[in-house]
Amino acid sequence: MNQFDAETIAIGTELLIGGRSDTNSLFLAEELGKLGIAVRFKSVVGDERQDIVAAIHMAVKRAQVIVMTGGLGPTVDDCTREAVASATGQRLGRRKDALEGLTARLAQWGRIPNAAQLRQALIPSGAIVLKNPVGSAPGFCLTWKKALIVSLPGVPREMEEMMRQAVLPLLRAAHESSGLSSRVPIVRQVFHTFGLPEADVDAKLQGLIPKGAPVDLGMLASPMGVLVSLTTKGNQSTPDKQHDLLQKLANEVRSRLGEWLFAEGRDTMEEVVGRELAKQGLMLAVAESCTGGLIGHRLTQVAGSSAYVDRGAICYSNRAKTEMLGVPADLIALRGAVSKEVAAAMACGIRERASVSVGLSATGIAGPGGGTEAKPVGLVYVGLDDGTGRPIAREFRFHGDRNIIKQRSSQAALDVLRRWLLDRASK
């Protein structure tokens, strides 16, 4: 078989209509990708036996590895066990090894299994039981119509541990025995930009990928900027060649995106900025109006941020701007609270009052109310003051709802700080 594709099936009515989306499949796609197995399809079905059966029947037609998550709990609506048995024509029976694991786990928690929990030890005949090292529900896997069907609990921590401890080693072993061990892993490299519209990023990357090269270029716009990705197609090259090509293209992406590129991979803006502040031994204080605390929240998402974040002032009212930051009431009256001058005065005020190296501020109109023709919703000023007497004040005009404008404003403020830090480091 030339192709080696995977499909994930997430099971649970709450994933259809319940305000919760399937995130397990992101982990699965990444881990399977490392083995060179591409997740090409993802499905979500409710806790309905016939729908799960239909999803399995569809999946075996187009995938060789099928990973199902959810529907293994003790309650009556959990029917994945029954569905797999029915789809594959196997009998469902209580399995000794499944029961032992379940009983041992519950005993740890000081309980004995009740009738509902005993259902969790029901396993289709011929399936291998997969131990659950974290929770009570065992999983299982079986081969049917040349596809490996894996069934795991929906709880992310349990699913992840069972993948790591049982399923991935099993797939690796199967690969090796079938001579597929030389498969080229699917590698995805991600670049985060801020400040350029998607069309401009696209223009900068025109002609990047040589014709026929086994790499896909992706682009994804969000309020936080445009994400660029390079994904290898796997299996169309050798690992060495693929690695070299990806490195070459990644360098080209870096050089073309230049200053607009703020992070790579799982790195976030707040981590990048935090590392640089720590490296340069600087202490930061923020003054937030329209962002209402979001800049502070983001900075303090990073573990260890107390080393470079001293404080923040959320000065929502004009009085707070004057009392907390010393912004002259006259200046606010003259220029308006949303102005370059007030942004700069806020940054200067918080820096001086906190006695730190750098002050960062944001003031703007998050909407939906409060806009005028001269100062529309989405108008935002970011200020930065480092005590040199040359404060930075930058204007932004954002579109979107209140939340998006707040998110973009926080990103813009952190980006102004990032650019200032880079500039400072290069001097």
Site for a second copy in 273-292 (CB under 8 A): 286, 288, 291-292
Restricted to residues 146-165, the positions that interact with a second copy (CB under 8 A) are: 155, 157
Return the residue of 69, 88, 193, 231 that touches a second copy, per CB under 8 A: 231
Asked whether 49 and 83 are in contact (CB, 8 A), the reply is yes
286 vs 347: CA distance, rounded Å: 7
Tell me which of 221, 250, 282, 331 binds a second copy, using CB under 8 A. 221
- The answer to whether 111 and 84 are in contact (CB under 8 A) is no
If phi > 0 it is left, if psi is from -120 to 50 it is alpha, else beta; for residue 251 that is alpha
Residue 100 or 198 having the CB closest to a second copy: 198
Using CB under 8 A as the binding rule, the residues of this chain from 90 to 149 that contact a second copy are 114, 116-117
Give, as ranges, the residues between 46 and 85 that touch a second copy (CB under 8 A): 46-48, 51, 54-55, 58, 62, 73-77
Residues 6+ apart with CB under 8 A from 414: 269, 270, 273, 295, 298, 299, 360
- Determine, following the binding rule CB under 8 A, whether residue 2 of this chain makes contact with a second copy: no
Site for a second copy in 286-325 (CB under 8 A): 286, 288, 291-301, 303-306, 309-317, 319-320, 323-324
Which stretch in 38-46, 125-133, 173-181, 383-391 sits in contact with a second copy by CB under 8 A? 38-46
Question: Closest separation between CB of residue 134 and a second copy, Å?
Answer: 9
Q: Which of residues 3-32 bind a second copy (CB under 8 A)?
A: 12-23, 25-26, 29-30
366-405 residues near a second copy, rule: CB under 8 A: 366-369, 400-404
Strand partners, 124: 92
Q: How far apart are CA 316 and CA 301, in angstroms?
A: 22
Nearer to a second copy, 328 or 400 (CB): 400
Owner of token pair 């970011």: 382
> What is the residue-wise DSSP string for 346-359?
HHHHHHHHHT-SEE
Q: Which is nearer to a second copy, 166 or 228 (CB)?
A: 228
- Count the Cβ atoms, other than its own, within 10 Å of residue 265: 10
- Smallest gap, in angstroms, from Cβ of residue 306 to a second copy? 6
DSSP string, 367-392: SSSS--SSS-TTEEEEEEE-SSS--E
| Residues, the chain | 427
Nearest to 74 by CA among 136, 130, 12, 152: 136
At its nearest, how many Å lie between a second copy and the CB of residue 228? 11
Residue with smaller CB distance to a second copy, 219 or 331: 219
Cβ atoms within 10 Å, residue 346: 33
Question: Rg of the Cα trace of the chain?
Answer: 27
Interacting residue with a second copy among 100, 202, 252, 271 (CB under 8 A): 202
* Residue 252 Cβ vs a second copy, minimum distance, rounded to whole Å: 17
Site string for a second copy, 179-198 (x = CB under 8 A): -------x-x-x-------x
